[in-house]
Amino acid sequence: MKFRLRAIGLLSLVLAATTAACAGDEPRDAASDDAPLAAPTPVIGAYYAGWASSSYPVSRIPANKITHLFYAFATIQNGRCVAPGGADANFNALATLKRQYPQLRTLISIGGWGAGGFSDAALTQASRQRFVTSCLDTFFTRYRGSFDGVDLDWEFPVSGGPVEITDRPEDKQNMTLLSQEFRRQLDNLGRQRGAKYLVTAALPAGRLQTDGPYDPAASFDLRALGGVLDFINLMTYDMGTGFSSVATFNAPMSEVAEDPLGQPMRKWNNVTNAVAYYRQNGVPPERLVLGVPFYGRGFVVKQEGPNHGLYQAKASTFEVGAWKDIQPLLNNPAWKQYWHPVAQSPWLYNAAERKFASYENPQSIGIRAQFAKQNGLLGTFMWELSEDDASNSLLNAMSAPFR
């Protein structure tokens, strides 16, 4: 979260059975080959930031509105899994929530931006076995009843992550081997307990990272991972970050001709073509879950221009905050609202301060969710749950096509 099956017929059967199992459906009986396969249950996923639990406790999670919850983040120390702060209270609350909503699947997400240790932990067969065993001991034995799977958030194998984090050329293959080891050990545990445990991963779409132009296929064997993982959370956001030289969109829907980003990055640095790229690299659409951001990105531009800040040269960045923090700006006369018909995204511009804010609203998120549905993707997910408003406006828009 791969090995490549070369026989097309076998691949179809394996994918169908695995998808059905991850969604809680039984695979088709071998004796009823003519029976139609049940459609996989859609994923409506939510990342939950454990560090926000003081203001957004586990008990507040709208478990009736989501199917999968990804608890962020466990980390790696000395080649072993380490539970995050507040684990005892939050994980006990999570187990209680699961008893109240038995349809909810919960996963411990390991890693995140700035989290090191993956390259060393995945380096050898022995280190992978030791690391995965430590994760199972922690999250499926010590905290038994809290989790239904593991989500890998390695940012990133080989290149593109924070410069201070160790990476190696062999990381690409080792990510696949690590995912297979999680699959092997969790499947064994599941057979012992009569359970189906999930292995997923959050994989990138943004084409500008710490080392400059970035290609996800240089970090990940996408075709292989599409066969090992139950599904991939495709991070179709963070396409316009501080790595950009201009004020731009965080998650543009399509390629914008006026975007000065060089090719071939510009072609792929949007939601539509990010999905196309993963599909071209062998990931079936039914293994992809589309990501949407519940937060904004801010740029201070160097000088006033004709496009209300858009694609103007960046002087610096600023913190926009979450959707719930952006909403008050919508009624602030200093901030003017704009909409781009190709990017299918709104933005705000404060001319007096030369501040450009990219964000998503219920309309733009609804467009992305409908795209996911129409293109046969498994569902949608967001980063992250506590950044929504009190009415769950963004979550409702994100989930509507799949309900």
- Active-site positions read 155
- Measured CA to CA, the distance from residue 329 to residue 316 in angstroms comes to 20
Non-local (6+) Cβ contacts of 101 within 8 A are 63, 64
In whole angstroms, how large is the CA radius of gyration of the chain? 21
Non-local (6+) Cβ contacts of 276 within 8 A are none
Q: Which residue has the tokens 């293109």?
A: 375
Q: 39: exposed, middle or buried (C-beta count within 10 Å: 0-12, 13-18, 19+)? A: exposed
Q: 64: exposed, middle or buried (C-beta count within 10 Å: 0-12, 13-18, 19+)? A: exposed
